[in-house]
A and B are shown apart, each in its own frame.
Chain A
Amino acid sequence: MECMMQSGSQAPVIKMNGVSKFFGDFQALKNVSLDVAEGERLVVCGPSGSGKSTLIRCINRLEKHEKGEIDVEGIRLNDSPAALDAIRQNVGMVFQQFNLFPHLSVMDNLTLGPMRAYGLTKAVAQARAMKYLERVRIPDQAEKLPRQLSGGQQQRVAIARSLCMEPKILLFDEPTSALDPEMINEVLEVMVELAETGMTMIVVTHEMGFARKVADRMVFMDEGEIVEVAEPEQFFTAPKSDRCRDFLQKIINH
C-alpha cells in the first residue's frame, strides 16, 4: 500500500520516508512516505481516525514518529532542540479548535511568538501583526479578546497568528470543521488567497470545493496509510482504489 510520489524538479521541502507512529500498541501511521515540493498545496482527506492529524502533527513534531525519517527544509527531525526550534519557526499550524490564547488580546496573540522567539521589538511585531490582520480582513479587531469574536473571525486570527511567524510551510488541521456553516467560506477565502501567494500548504479538510480549487495534489489516507495520491482532476473523477471511491461517495452524497 506504500505510495511514493515525486513532485516537480526542485528538492522537496518536506520528505517523509517510511514513517511509522505508534500510540502504545496502536499504529496510527504505517510506513508513510510523502514528498512535498516548495509552493505545493496538498489536501489530505480520509475517514475519521485514518491518521490525517497524526501525519501533519509529525511534520511539526507535535507528535514524535518512531520509525522512518522526516526532513523539513533539509532539517532532520529528531530530539535535538536546535532542529526543533528550526522546524517550529519554519512550519506554522492552524488547529481545528483555533487554540487562541483566551486571556490575551488579538494583538497579543499575534505578537507574542515573534517577540519571544525572534526577538522583535513590540513596535515591529505590532506592525507585522497589523499587516497580517489586514490580510485576513479583521484589522479592526486587534484590541478585542478572542471570545468576543465569531468562530470564523477567531480562526482567521489563528491564521494571522501563524503568518506572523512568517513560516515557509503552513499546516491546517480541519480548519473549518468547528465552524458554523455560514462562517466556513470567510475562512476558506482567506486560505485560497494564501494559496495564491505561493505558500506551501498541507490542508486536512473535507471541503472538496476548496480542494478542487487550490490542491495541486490530493492525498487519501485510510487506517494509517496513504492509499492514494493524485491530482485533483483524476482523484475526483477516477480514483484508483475502492476505499477512496467509497469515501468520496460518502462525503459527496452526505
Chain B
Amino acid sequence: MKRFFLFALIAVGLSGCTGDNWGWYVVDPGTPNGKSNLTFLISGAWNTIVLSLTAIAISVVVGLLVALPGLSEKRGLRWFNRIYVECVRSVPILVLILWVYYGLPALSGITLNVFWAGVLALALSDSAFQAEIFRAGIQSIGRGQYEAAQSVSLNYRDTMRYIILPQAIRRILPALGNQLVYMMKMSSLVSVIGMQELTRKANELVVTEYRPLEIYTILVLEYLVLILIVSQGVRWLERRMNVSEG
C-alpha cells in the first residue's frame, strides 16, 4: 500500500514535468545524445556506492574502537571518547572534506587522491555518530549477560565478541541503516573536490547542456532509487537477524 502511494506520487510528479519549462530531450534515451547523457549521469552511481560503503565500513570499525573506551571504568578513557566525539561531531562534513584534501597534504606531506580523501573525511565525520550508536547499543545489554559470561570464564574480548556485540548489533541495525543512508547523501559533498560521483556528473553535464531542471531532477531520482534499495536491504537484514533474536 505504502509502495503504491509512492509510485502514485512519482507518477503525478512526472506528469507535471511535461510543460513548457521542461526539455526532456537532454536525457531522452531514444536519441543518441540523450542516451549518452543518461549513461554519463548514471555512471556516477558506482563511485557513490563504493565511496559510501567504504566510508561506512571504516567508520563502523573506528566508531566501535572509540565507543569501547567510552564504556570503560577508567576516567581517562572515557574522556578520550568524549573529546573525540565532541570534536569530530562539531566539524561540518564539507569543511572536513576540504581540510583533508587541501589541508592535510600541506600539514603532513601525505597526499590523498580524491577518493581516499573523500572516504577519510566521510568516515571520520561519521565515526563520531557510530561511536554514540555503539555506546548506546552496548549499554542496552543488561548486566546479567556480562555476569553470565564471567561465570563461564570468558575474558573481556570474548565477552564482547561472542556475547555483547552480536546482541548490540542486532539492536542498533536500524540506526546503522539510517547512518548508511545519511552517508550516501553526504557523499554528494565529495563532488566539490572533483570526485566523479553522481552529483559531480550532474554538475558537469549541466555546464555543457544547460538543462539544470531536467538533469537535477534525474539526480534526485538517482538518489531516491539508490536509497530505497539500501533501505530495503537493511530491512531485509533486520528481518533475517531478528529471526534468531532471543
Bound-complex Cα distance A93 to B151 (A): 6
Q: How far is the CB of A184 from chain B (nearest CB, A)?
A: 20
B158 CB contacts on chain A under 8 angstroms = 112, 116
What count of chain A residues pass the 8 Å CB interface test? 29
Size bracket of the B interface = 20 to 34
Contacts across chains A and B counted by CB atoms under 8 Å: 72
Bound-complex Cα distance A62 to B245 (A): 27
Contact of B140 with A by CB under 8 A: no
* Residue in A closest to B243 when the chains form the complex, CB atoms: A145
Q: When the two chains form their complex, are residues A103 and B150 in contact, meaning their CB atoms are under 8 A apart?
A: no
Contact of B152 with A by CB under 8 A: yes
Contact of A224 with B by CB under 8 A: no
Q: When the two chains form their complex, are residues B152 and A161 in contact, meaning their CB atoms are under 8 A apart?
A: yes
Q: When the two chains form their complex, are residues B167 and A88 in contact, meaning their CB atoms are under 8 A apart?
A: no
CB-contact partner of A147 in B147, B148, B167, B246, under 8 A: B246
Check A112/B148 contact, CB under 8 A, given A101-B163, A103-B246, A145-B244.
no
Could you give, for residues 119-156 of chain B, a 1 whenever the CB lies within 8 Å of some chain A CB and a 0 otherwise?
A: 00000000000000000000000001101111111110
Contact of B166 with A by CB under 8 A: yes
B150 CB contacts on chain A under 8 angstroms = 60, 62, 88
Bound-complex Cα distance A113 to B150 (A): 9
* Residue in B closest to A97 when the chains form the complex, CB atoms: B144
Check A117/B152 contact, CB under 8 A, given A103-B245, A145-B244.
yes
Q: When the two chains form their complex, are residues A162 and B151 in contact, meaning their CB atoms are under 8 A apart?
A: yes
List residues 156-171 of chain B with CB under 8 A from any CB of chain A.
158, 162-163, 166-167, 170
A99 CB contacts on chain B under 8 angstroms = 144-145, 147-148
Bound-complex Cα distance A224 to B234 (A): 51
Check A165/B152 contact, CB under 8 A, given A95-B144, A95-B147, A99-B147.
yes
Contact of A102 with B by CB under 8 A: yes
Q: How far is the CB of B237 from chain A (nearest CB, A)?
A: 15
Q: When the two chains form their complex, are residues A92 and B144 in contact, meaning their CB atoms are under 8 A apart?
A: no
List residues 40-73 of chain A with CB under 8 A from any CB of chain B.
60, 62
CB-contact partner of A101 in B148, B153, B155, under 8 A: B148
Bound-complex Cα distance A161 to B145 (A): 14
Bound-complex Cα distance A85 to B155 (A): 9
Contact of A146 with B by CB under 8 A: yes
Q: Which A residues fall within an 8 A CB radius of B? A: 60, 62, 85, 88-89, 92-93, 95, 97, 99-104, 112-114, 116-118, 145-147, 158, 161-162, 164-165
Q: Which B residues fall within an 8 A CB radius of A? A: 144-145, 147-155, 158, 162-163, 166-167, 170, 244-246
